[in-house]
Structure formats: C-alpha cells, structure tokens
Amino acid sequence: MGKDKISGDLGGGGQLSYDFVKEIILPAFNNPYLDRLDDGAVFDINGVRLAFSTDTFVADPIFFPGGSIGDLAVNGTVNDISMCGAKPLYISAGLIIEEGFPENDLKIILKDMAESADRANVKIVTGDTKVVPRGAVDKIFINSSGIGVVSENITVSCSNAKPGDKIILSGTIGDHGIAMLTQREAMEFETEIKSDTASLCGMVENILSFGRDIHVLRDPTRGGVGTVLNEIALMSGAGIFFYEEKIPVKKEVAGICEILGLDPLYIANEGKLIAVAAPDAASDILKSIRNDPLGCDAAIIGEVVSDFSGQVIMETGIGGKRIVDMLQGEQLPRIC
C-alpha cells in the first residue's frame, strides 16, 4: 500500500479495502481458501462440506430505523454463510463493550440477536464478552462467526461467473446506508427510511434448488452493488454489463442521494443479494426470488460478457455507457 499507517478508508469495502486485503492480508496467510476472496471459506471434513465465515460489526448508530447492531451481527453472518451456498446452522457472538454502556441497551441488543437467530433458524452456541475502558471502543462492537453445511451439488464463487450468465439483484439498493445516515445526522423526511437488514437464508435455500445453475451469490454490503460487481469481474476475468434503469431504488433513497451527491450503487445493503445464474435458468430463479417477501422488487439487471475483461460497464438511463469502478474510499463510514 505504500503507507506507514492504517487509513479509515481501508474499512469501506471498496478499492482501497480490496488492495489492502490483496497486498497485506493474503500474503500473511497464503492459502487457497483466503485467495478465493469469497464471503467465507468452504472446505471438506470427513466428506462433509462446510462453510465458515466471520464478521465484525461497528455500526454507528447502534440503533436505527429497522434494526440494531444486534440484528446486523446475526443477519450479516447468516447471509455470509448463505452466500457460500450453505445452510447456516450455528453462530458465535463476541461482545466488546465500553465501560459505562447502559445495561438496558445491551439487553435490547441481545434480544434482537436472539430474535434474528430464531428467524434464521440458527443457534448462537458460543461467545465471549470483554469490557474495555471508556473511549477504548465506541459503545459496543460485535464479532460474529458462523458455520453451515454445503450440499454436494452446490459450488458458488465469484470466479464461477461465465459469459452469458444473467445477473439478478434481489431488491432495492441503498436502504440500509441511507437509514443509518439519516439517523446519525438527525435528518428528518416525510417518509422514514428503514434499514433492509434481514436474513436471506430462506431465499437462498430456494435459489439453491437450481443446483449448478447458480454460479455466484454475493450480498452487496460495504461498497454496495458497484463494488461487488467489480469483485465478480476481477475474480472471474469476465466483463459485467448492466442497465442503470433496471436497478431498483426507492424514490426516497434516490432523492436523498441526489441531494447529498451520493451514488446508490456504492451504498451498503444488509438484506439484498446478487445472484449470477446460467441464462436458461435465470427467469425461473428470478420468479423464485420474487416469491420471497424479501425479493418482491427483484430484477435481472444485466449479464456477464466476454468483452472488457475484469471491468464493469453500465448503460445509463439516457443510453450512454460508462465504466463503474470500485468505490475508492468510504461514502458512509461505520454503517455496518
């Protein structure tokens, strides 16, 4: 990276994060599981295929319209396991709590975690708690790891995208990031924007019934849809072409983004997924997603192409074309 100190932008999930992982993290451990740069690792133990993933949640604010840091910790980990093509089973919960944190707030967060785990049909089976001096952490941070089982006929990875594949987005983008921003900055609008934080394991279970026709699953959290599409292009070596007019965005979210000069393509989501699927199965997979309450706004937004290898191209609403790069730094800090 050529820098002596860690920059806050490295946590934003964009190009700087990607370069940091490639140049600093991967060489330190050097193994094929990490090198895949998927949402988790898939490995075989005595003939059983398992998926394992971990994430740390540092959200600010910790309570927001539609959820809390507790919901994020469970849903985010469940979703990362699901994006490996697995059925999530068990998760952990590690709490780092600032001294003086209100006990009642902790009880609310734990209740949210328990309810989210119940909805996802997973169990929180182990954990750890540390209390640190005031100022050593901002209120509460949560680390959560998860494990799940992968069926024999399922292999999903960013590297599996092939020219001709269709790209499906499960719903509106930017809801979580804008909900966090408006709450943090005490911005008031006529319509309250809520986070989309949710477990996608039920939706993914239905998607996985299509077996090897599912090539890639990713949830566009930090860095948003634009960054995830770039990761797929880079890891597969193919190009990505999509249509701006087919990206579902709520009017309220689009309006706030326009006012603040933000691009919805790079805003984090916590209850959406991108599926890359074989062209012959894409329409049926889209129907399956739309049958889920969380996928009613799903759309096929584009396709994988053999041109412009490793790049993402968007056709704009007026018919022009532009390159969509990875997010460089952080549009919105501390949102997950």
pLDDT at 256: 92
Whole-structure pTM value:
0.93
Nearest to 56 by CA among 27, 94, 84, 28: 94
Q: What is the C-alpha to C-alpha distance for residues 203 and 290, in angstroms, rounded to an integer?
A: 9
**What integer pLDDT is reported at residue 330 of this predicted model?**
67
CA 197-110-268 angle, 5° bins? 20
pLDDT in tens, 254-288: 999 999 999 999 999 999 999 999 999 999 999 99
Predicted pLDDT of residue 219: 97
* pLDDT confidence of residue 7: 77
Residues in the chain: 336
Pick from 55, 138, 132: nearest CA to 94: 55
pLDDT at 312: 98
Among residues 200, 228, 215, the alpha carbon closest in space to that of 166 is found at 215
The listed CATH number (3.40.190.10, 3.30.1330.10, 3.40.50.300, 1.10.260.40) that belongs to domain 8-150: 3.30.1330.10
Residue 122: predicted pLDDT? 98
As a whole number of angstroms, the distance between CA 226 and CA 222 comes to 10
**How much is the pLDDT for 11?**
66
pLDDT recorded at residue 307: 93
Comparing C-alpha atoms, which of 154, 118, 168, 197 is closest to residue 288? 168
Question: What's the pLDDT at 3?
Answer: 60
For tokens 């603040």, the residue is 260
The order of strands in the sheet holding 166-169 is 214-218, 274-277, 166-169, 299-305, 239-243, 312-315, 321-323
Residue 221, pLDDT score: 95
**Class assignment of domain 158-323?**
alpha beta
Q: Which residues belong to CATH 3.90.650.10 in the chain?
A: 158-323
Whole-number pLDDT of residue 302: 98
Do residues 277 and 217 touch, judged by C-beta distance below 8 A?
no
For residue 301, give both structure tokens. 């937004």
Query: Which ranges in the chain are annotated with CATH 3.30.1330.10?
Result: 8-150
- The torsion angles phi and psi of 292, rounded to 5 degrees, stand at -85, 140
Q: 325: Cβ–Cβ under 8 A, 6 or more apart, which residues? A: 15, 226, 230, 312
Distance between start and end Cα atoms, the chain: 24
Under-50 pLDDT residues of the chain: 1
